[in-house]
Amino acid sequence: MMKTAVVIGVGPERGLGAQLCKRFAGNGLHVIVAGRTQSAIDVVAKEIASSGGKATAVVTDATNERHIVALFDRAGAELELAIYNAGNNTPGRIVDMDATYFEQSWRVVCFGGFLFGREAVKRMLPAKNGTLLFTGASASLRGRAGYGAFNSSKAALRTLAQAMAKEYAADGIHVGHVVVDGAIAGDKIFQRFPDAASREDSLVSIEGIVDAFEFLYRQPQRAWSFELDVRTSKERW
Ligand SMILES: NC(=O)c1ccc[n+]([C@@H]2O[C@H](COP(=O)([O-])OP(=O)(O)OC[C@H]3O[C@@H](n4cnc5c(N)ncnc54)[C@H](OP(=O)(O)O)[C@@H]3O)[C@@H](O)[C@H]2O)c1
């Protein structure tokens, strides 16, 4: 049976989620491509299929417990890799912020990571094997004015991942976290900032980020890392 990978938080083709799917499909995994937008995930699954890989697109809201359980039912007992990549930035000053905005940010960035991580580990425990990876950001490590909602939930996601790494290491499950320290050279940034293409050397390379995920995935059980951080040489940190 083909091993499976689940990647949630897949959007545009030129985006981190989509490129993670492509890389791991290229490594011979059947990738379950999960995201909110049917048309976007269909494009990714079709491209994988047309290059000889196997992929299944499943519309999934990361904050919906029922969706997440069903998603992992699709992945089955062959689950080998699970990646939590959902988590759009949610800027805003605290004094202006609605409680629902803050709560929704936390639901997508942190609570969804708990639902996803719990279901992934449950399916990996019987075989005592599997890798669970989370996408972090600069926000995972420090608070910044104007980003309190996003910073607090990304930091919480990181410590959740760290707790899970310690809780399940003895069961053979590798939990890791990739800190993307800077804006990513993908559609999310190019669409929001039309001038971004002219400063691409200060945007983090998607291929380089995907390399970090693959490195963690390939680590032998006697040399596991919890975390890798990636940034451009221009980044001041
Ligand atoms: N973009 C950056 O510059 C940057 C920098 C550092 C770290 N990161 C992190 O990198 C990861 C990828 O972000 P990205 O912005 O570059 O986008 P991406 O990987 O191209 O796509 C992520 C996708 O996640 C989806 N998503 C959001 N909420 C979801 C939910 N509740 N359920 C299912 N899917 C959901 C979004 O769908 P919709 O299209 O429907 O919103 C989005 O298209 C995130 O964890 C982010 O925090 C991004």
Please give the domain boundaries of the chain with CATH numbers for all domains: 4-230 (3.40.50.720)
Nearest to 47 by CA among 29, 26, 61, 16: 26
**What pLDDT does 197 receive?**
84
Half-sphere exposure (Cβ direction) of 19: Cα atoms closer than 13 Å: 17
Which of 92, 28, 85 minimizes the C-alpha distance to 55? 28
Which atom of ligand 1 sits closest to the CA of residue 11? 43
Q: Are 23 and 178 in contact (CB under 8 A)?
A: no
The pLDDT value recorded for residue 80 is 98
**Pocket of ligand 1 from Cβ distances under 6 Å:** 8-12, 15-17, 35-37, 60-63, 85-88, 108, 112, 135, 137, 180, 183-184, 186, 188-189
Which segments in the chain show pLDDT lower than 70?
A: none
In the numeric block, the tokens 């697109």 are attached to: 57
Helices 148-168 and 112-124, interaxial angle, to 10°? 20
- Whole-structure pTM value: 0.98
pLDDT digit string, tens, across residues 106-136: 999 999 999 999 999 999 999 999 999 999 9
Task: Report the pLDDT value the prediction gives residue 194, as an integer from 0 to 100.
Answer: 86
Distance (angstroms) between ligand 1 centre and the Cα of 207 equals 16
pLDDT score of 131: 98
